[in-house]
Amino acid sequence: MLEDFEAPSVDVRVFVKQNAEDENASAIEQNGRSQESQFQVQQQHYSNSFSSPSPSSCGMIGDSKSRRPEQARSVLLSSGTEMSKFFQQAQRVLNLPSCPVKAYFSDGTRLRDIEDALDGDTLYLCLSEQESFAGRGKHAAKAAGGGGAAIVGKCWRVGQELGKGGFGRVCRAENVDSGELVAMKFMPKASFRDIASLERAFTEIQVLRELRHPNIIEMRDCIDDPNYICFCMEYCGDGDLCDLIEARGRLKESETLFYYHQIVKGVAFSHSKNIVHRDLKPENVLLTDGQTVCKIADFGLADLITGAGQSIDCGTPAYLAPEVYNGKSKASDPYKIDVWALGVLLVVCMTGRVPFRAPTADVLQSLAEIVEPLPAEMRAYVTTLLQADPGKRASMREVRTAAYMVRDRFASLS
């Protein structure tokens, strides 16, 4: 029975290290929850699969039954819990051969009071007094926390922050040997609270391995760190399509089509690899080479289409296809999801604003008014993309070969 005072607690997820150097250590990742007094302990067997890129180690979650987490179990601990009791609970939950006697933070500092552990900390347990933990992952933690230049992996010097995404910070990094620039995304392992978020990380890694195209961002490296998954993507230093639209108010038809042709090529290629992006929007179209080349990025919500079915409906509401917004996409052609988003993207480029917040019933009834500001030929073309019924919506082949698209391509050569 819990005592009457407020007892702070931590959500603890346990990662069992299976490589040789960690044979007798287990990493416990903690995420604080105030006003509760329950340790959620979940044993995960897939942490070792975050090693640097290889098709075998970075496959989709569920490749092997050994990578699926066991059922989460709970133990009640008050704020006055002693380290000895914490170690006993860890031994029981982890099935360790003996009770841990010491715990260290990832930087090598010894933990002497369980209440000193903060959100996102990783703890390493030692099973004997002779063992110690020198620390690892300090550089990635420093870089991800904005602590200045640091070397991550074998060769990446991390620099300024470029932005923040759904999983964490993105920083510019330079290869100290070659001078190559990349955008390094730091994905905190503490954010993987469930299978869905872990699958999303694996999906993006796998998808970026599959796709090699001039108009799709390329992954250059993937680094496993005790606290983060760090992966390095091709660096695009000229902002994104959203920045360009905001700077100019809106784009001319010729400018819009210049970028749109490239985006369509990238999307068509991803579809040829059975990959649906599911979150196409100007913010996910990066610009490089003096804003003359665009590359599709952020495949975190992408869907690798297989016979096993499709992922849950998700994405940015303003660009969602109606069937996704209504939760009915599993019964329709998944590739048509990207086609709808391409239509919305064209409207945004030409008008400088998002035409609607979500494809509600009222919006679908007023699509003719929404595309009215567009030039006549473009309006007719976009109408084929923004069909509420995916069965009537243009296919990706029709998107590429429509008379409007072919006409513009040859006109640009004259």
Indicate which residues carry an active-site annotation: 279
Q: Measured between alpha carbons, how far is 372 from 295 in angstroms, rounded to an integer? A: 29
Q: Whats the size of the chain, residue-wise?
A: 414
d(CA 173, CA 113): 36
Nearest to 390 by CA among 312, 347, 333, 324: 333
DSSP-assigned letter for residue 402: -
Instruction: Please give the single-letter amino acid code of residue 191.
Output: S
List CB contacts of 92: < 8 A, sequence separation 6 or more. none
Taking Cα atoms as reference points, which of 268, 266, 185, 188 lies closest to residue 219?
185
CB 245 within 8 A of CB 294: no
d(CA 400, CA 261): 8
Q: In what order do the strands lie in the sheet with 38-44?
A: 73-76, 38-44, 9-16, 26-33, 122-126, 102-105
- Decide: 131 and 32 in contact? Cβ < 8 Å: no
* Residue pair 158/173 in contact by the 8 Å Cβ criterion: yes
